[in-house]
Structure 1
Amino acid sequence: MSNQFASLYLFINKAINKGHKRSVKAKKNILASFIIKGGSIAIGLILVPLTINYVNPTSYGIWLTLSSMVAWFGFFDIGFGHGLRNKLAESIAKEEFVLAKKYVSTTYAILSLIIGGVLVLFMGINPFLNWASILNTSEALGDELGVVALIVFSFFCMQFVLKLITTVLTANQEPAKASFFNFLGSLFSLLVIFILTKTTEGNLIYLGAALSFTPVLVLTCSSVWFYTQDYKRYAPSFRQVDFSLAKDLMSLGAKFFVIQIGALVLFSTNNVIITQLFGPEEVTPFNIAFKLFNIVTMGFGIVVTPMWSAFTDAYVREEFDWIKQTLAKMRKFWFLAILGSIGILFASPFLYRIWVGDSVDVPFELSVAMCLYVIVAIWQTMHVFFLNGIGKIKLQLYLVTFTAIINIPLAILLGRWFGLVGITMTSTLIFGIMGIVFSIQTHKILNKTAKNIWNE
């Protein structure tokens, strides 16, 4: 048995260390990310029934909707996060480390000013917001929801700036380290919620505080560690803040910002639409199905995440053969993702039963719709990561803006016709269209036939 393990280790080690230096680094991060995110997925799956049992399905649906609404403010970075990711990757590729430090310092300064203003504004208007009406629930919960919203938003603002450490790590093609933060945050959240189930009655305020505080704690400790150790050369400094670099960050970041707003509509409005059409209790089965099939999405995300900055590095060095070979390998992973999605679909009734028991009923037709959505979304994601990495996003900007405009009315229409399945069908149709367009653009760029908007 020991000889078999030794042979397996040697085989894996040889496979990982074979190929281009950039590919080796990516493969190491992919393997580490699979291990780390595998743990995060397991914790996330355990956390769902634990949280539902701590409160109840309706309160859990309220929490999901509220937290997704608060997450909308994550787009107030006006694209600076993505701008930093590309500019930092370019600076590292060119070994311009002083400039890299300036980009990091300036981004921290700008985002701190932005989110500080947003927090002050929210604290001023929060007492006047009718959260019970916004979340389509009992007026008796109004005061409690106001407190929860303030707690969640305050911690979110801290996380907004602190999470830049994950951008820095990813830009240096080390997303596995960034993934480890999510794992630790999920682990601590699980521990805290478990303690709450043993010591308190179901309480949305406790739930919100627990799930909002743990990521902030992890990111704070991680930032201190990395910026005093391996990433000291990139550590933010007041003396290195150079607001003249904001133009460089914004030249690409502004386009990413508009795309982010479109993505906000495409990814984050479903819970609100479902709440308004069917009530917060229906958010729970929708998200249960989404979380189950999201295992495939997360698995594929582990593969493609290191590639964004790797594509940037390769494009700067004009290594187009490497890009073509890498995209070919990613397509093979997409076929595996299709098989995985279909396997989960047929096993879904059993998986739901052992996961959440009888507390939540998820229709099989919703699982079918979610399976198709995942397959289509992964296809377009593969090409989007390449285009984002090389900064060719003008077509994406227009297409995402258009689809964002039609998303909400189309989701409402199909939702009224087909229920939760209709909401999912909307996302599938939109991502299907985008996937076709972006795959054509990718083909044109790599074959040097892209002109006008296809090459911008």
Structure 2
Amino acid sequence: MNIIKVRITVSLIFEKIFGKLLKGHERSIQAKKNIALSFLFKGLSITINIILVPITISYINSNRYGVWLILSSIISWMNLFDVGLGNGLRNKLSQTHAFKQYSRSKVYISSTYAVLLIVSIGIYLLFFLVNQFVNWYAILNVSQASIYNLNEVILLFVGFFCLQFILQVINVVLTAVHATSKVSLISVISQITALIAIYILTLFTKDSLILLVVALSGIPLLVQLIATFWYFSKQYKHLAPSFQLISFSQAKGLLSVGGYFFLLQIGSLVLFETDNIVITQLFGPNEVTSFNIAYKLFSVLVNVFTIVITPFWSAFTDAYTLNDFQWIEKIFKKMYLYWIFTIAVAVILVMISPLLYRLWLGNLAINIPILLSIAMVLYVAGFCWLMIHCYLLNGIGKIRLQLMLYIISTLINIPLAIYLGKIWGTAGVTLSNVFVFLYMDILLFIQCKKILNRNATGIWNM
């Protein structure tokens, strides 16, 4: 009898959960499904990331791991060479998907692949010629004795990046058609393969940065390649690219949309990807490792927050195209509540962070200052608030003010990071981002309010 009661209770709980999930506007239902699945996949992804850190550090040591992190930052700069095509394609596909214009979607996708292939070949050939003349040891502040083949490592890294540059288009397509959970699935499978590869390296090899690049950057590309063929031959066959549909005139249209996104990416780069360079120049690669361990812990909250809001970029495009402002306002209220919850969790996390670092890193001799953890809480607060408003503005193409703010940020962030870094160490570098977030958060909040109230004019409506 008790077993029957338990089954009935569990059944009612599941009915309530799935009833909520399948209730509301069709656009909201799609977003909820993506969020639910993304939580599952991202949870696995975060777990794998946590496991990877101590395994990787023990394999190549703290100093080389710091170099790996800096290389990852530098390579991410090259994402700028898509000149905004990815985000331009994302917005265009969201619009054509809303009106079921699949033939136009195929032209956009085919043209994007063609342009990115040309750009990737150009990047690699240029880097191949320039690489031998660059003193990477001075840039990364490491000795040649610690890494004897740094130029070869970076050349291989860039080669994998160029392949990823092309293969990542499937992620843009899936996001634009409201299938972000599939992007998370691809990511988690890629990380599982990378974890397996690293584990094999620890068994049969020793301390090889070049093999680490193959494991963490090369092998996951196979997953991305398989996913591309799988989705375009099965569920999204109606969007599959074709050589016959390549149109460079349409690519030019994507570039005009993506041009502003390109400039935004430059601003984002300075804000989010230069910290490692500043830290290695001020304190050396070992401090880059300490900084990134703290960042990885608190970025769990950012990742979870991103899971929730990512489906809404394309959903905002869809709603704005159909003049559904009421739905956008409703979603915004929920996002603000979720932001408050995220900050509360961040405060708890900083209180227990010393214990978490000990459990996570074990006997690895890495010190994480408590001031850095506190700075990370402020970083999470500023960044997540910024994302809420940027996702709406990016989705509806109102990015001129955002662009101006990013230009100002690029001028002040690095000097401010160096100044505060000399005062407060790695925490000061993080706080430079926080100060930049502060004025951006206020102004973009005002812009979004004006747009939703339908009284935005001038720069507020551009």
Q: Output the TM-score relative to the length of structure 1.
A: 0.99
Other-structure match for 1:387: 393
Distance 2:362 2:432 in 1: 29
Other-structure match for 2:3: none
Deviation at 1:11, TM superposition (A): 1.2
Other-structure match for 2:13: 8
SS of residue matched to 1:414: helix
Residue of 103, 117, 133 corresponding to 1:128: 133
Deviation at 1:51, TM superposition (A): 0.4
Amino-acid identity (%)? 46
Distance 1:85 1:356 in 2: 39
Deviation at 1:358, TM superposition (A): 3.9
Distance 2:186 2:373 in 1: 30
CA deviations 1:377-421 (Å, max 9, x no partner) are 101110000000000000001111110111111111111111111
Which amino acid is the alignment partner of residue 245 of structure 1?
Answer: Q
Distance 1:301 1:23 in 2: 16
Contact kept in structure 2, 1:37 and 1:183, CA below 8 Å: yes
Residue of 378, 388, 408 corresponding to 1:402: 408
Distance 2:419 2:241 in 1: 48
Q: How does 1:409-420 map to 2 (within 5 A)?
A: 409-420=415-426
Other-structure match for 1:173: 178
**Which structure 1 segments of 5+ residues have no match?**
none
Distance 2:414 2:257 in 1: 27
Q: How does 1:238-387 map to 2 (within 5 A)?
A: 238-359=243-364, 360-387=366-393
Q: How does 1:110-149 map to 2 (within 5 A)?
A: 110-141=115-146, 143-149=148-154
CA deviations 1:205-251 (Å, max 9, x no partner) are 11111111122111100000000011111111111111111232122
Contact kept in structure 2, 1:65 and 1:135, CA below 8 Å: yes
Which amino acid is the alignment partner of residue 424 of structure 1?
Answer: T
Q: How does 1:30-41 map to 2 (within 5 A)?
A: 30-41=35-46
Q: How many residues align?
A: 456
Other-structure match for 1:440: 446
Whether 1:100 and 2:105 are equivalent positions in the alignment is yes
Distance 1:335 1:284 in 2: 29
Q: Output the TM-score relative to the length of structure 2.
A: 0.97
Contact kept in structure 2, 1:304 and 1:382, CA below 8 Å: yes
Whether 1:431 and 2:437 are equivalent positions in the alignment is yes
Which amino acid is the alignment partner of residue 371 of structure 2?
Answer: E
Which amino acid is the alignment partner of residue 429 of structure 2?
Answer: I
Deviation at 1:148, TM superposition (A): 1.0
Contact kept in structure 2, 1:47 and 1:190, CA below 8 Å: yes
Other-structure match for 1:220: 225
Deviation at 1:141, TM superposition (A): 4.4
Contact kept in structure 2, 1:377 and 1:432, CA below 8 Å: no
Contact kept in structure 2, 1:381 and 1:435, CA below 8 Å: no
**Which structure 2 segments of 5+ residues have no match?**
1-5
SS of residue matched to 1:445: helix
Deviation at 1:139, TM superposition (A): 2.0
SS of residue matched to 1:140: coil
Other-structure match for 1:90: 95
